[in-house]
Amino acid sequence: MRKIFSSRTVVLLIIGFLVVVGLITGSNWFAKRTNTPPFFQRVVNDLTGGIAKVISIPTNAVGNRANSLANLLNTFSENKALKSKLDGYAQNKVKLQTVEEENQSLKKQLQLKNTLTDYQTISAVTISRSPTTWNSQLVIDKGAKSGLKKGMPVLGDSGIIGLITEVNTVNSKVSLISDTSEDTNHIAITVKDSAGDTNGILTDYDADKKLLVMGSVANQATMNKGDMVVTSGLGGLVPAGLLVGKIADVTTDSYGLSKKIYIEPASDLSKITSVLVAKSNVES
């Protein structure tokens, strides 16, 4: 058989092995004397550290991206929760404001009720008001069963707002003083001025200005901005002395032949949630 290793090869292998052992032994002895890792350990450590550094770069990048994404999702969730809370606060604020307005309106109605010594009053609540007839009519939750009759005056929180024009068993239709239709029963009114009273009727309603109009007033009539306007009782439709509002402006008609009076309603006609129906004690 052919020899696998020659004598020279064996000798070289033995010498190489002894050199490696010697280097390891010397390295360990040197490391103990100098408190530094052995040479081969340093080589291995350097290689391991380099590989770890190379691997850590993409790993750290992925980790940072993952943390950023997690933070973004947390921020989004917190933002959504905060918005939900803010919406709840806004809704509660609106509810509180609505309740406060209704409370103020009821207080004014109570004060108004105390001044109506010649009338019995029936409290009612608005149950229907169509946007198409907003300035002309509404429906309340009291009817013939509660003693209501056609023609009875209806008051808001401070003054008259209209008349009962249709009575059903448990509800009634109210024609507002802002109704401009031709078949509306125009209310007779009186302007209270220090120089004397001036009688007239409500003839129109300016929806843009939200003011009632008293037309066909003689030029010589004396009246001023701020004068009080009440029902006159003339015509027999509405009893006298119910507050209508106060004069907001005094102008002349397009021909300059008569005055045109703009009246600010005593009650806000755009916000009618509860009313008082006035019933004369004489009638009752």
Mean pLDDT of the chain: 77
User: Does residue 277 fall inside a structural domain?
Assistant: no
User: Does residue 112 fall inside a structural domain?
Assistant: no
Question: What does the alpha-carbon distance between residue 275 and residue 154 come to, in Å, rounded to a whole number?
Answer: 7
pLDDT per residue as tens, the chain (284 positions): 455 556 777 777 777 767 666 666 665 655 555 555 555 556 555 565 566 555 556 655 555 665 666 777 777 777 777 777 666 666 666 565 655 566 665 556 566 666 565 678 888 999 999 888 898 999 999 999 999 999 999 998 888 999 999 999 999 999 999 998 865 657 899 998 877 888 888 989 999 999 999 977 888 888 899 999 999 888 777 888 889 999 999 998 777 778 889 999 999 998 898 899 988 654 54
pTM strictly above 0.85:
no
Give the number of domains in the chain: 1
Domain range spanning residue 198? Answer: 188-265
User: Does residue 217 fall inside a structural domain?
Assistant: yes
User: Does residue 93 fall inside a structural domain?
Assistant: no
User: Does residue 156 fall inside a structural domain?
Assistant: no
CATH code of the domain containing 215: 2.40.10.350
User: Does residue 95 fall inside a structural domain?
Assistant: no
Beta strands in 89-222 (DSSP E): 119-128, 137-140, 153-155, 160-167, 172-176, 188-192, 198-206, 211-218
User: Does residue 145 fall inside a structural domain?
Assistant: no
Under 8 Å between Cβ of 251 and 262: yes
Q: DSSP letter for 186, please.
A: P
Q: Helices 39-115 and 7-34, interaxial angle, to 10°? A: 50
Under 8 Å between Cβ of 200 and 256: no
Q: Report how far apart, in Å, the C-alpha atoms of 241 and of each of 160, 191, 249 are.
A: 10, 11, 22
User: Does residue 209 fall inside a structural domain?
Assistant: yes
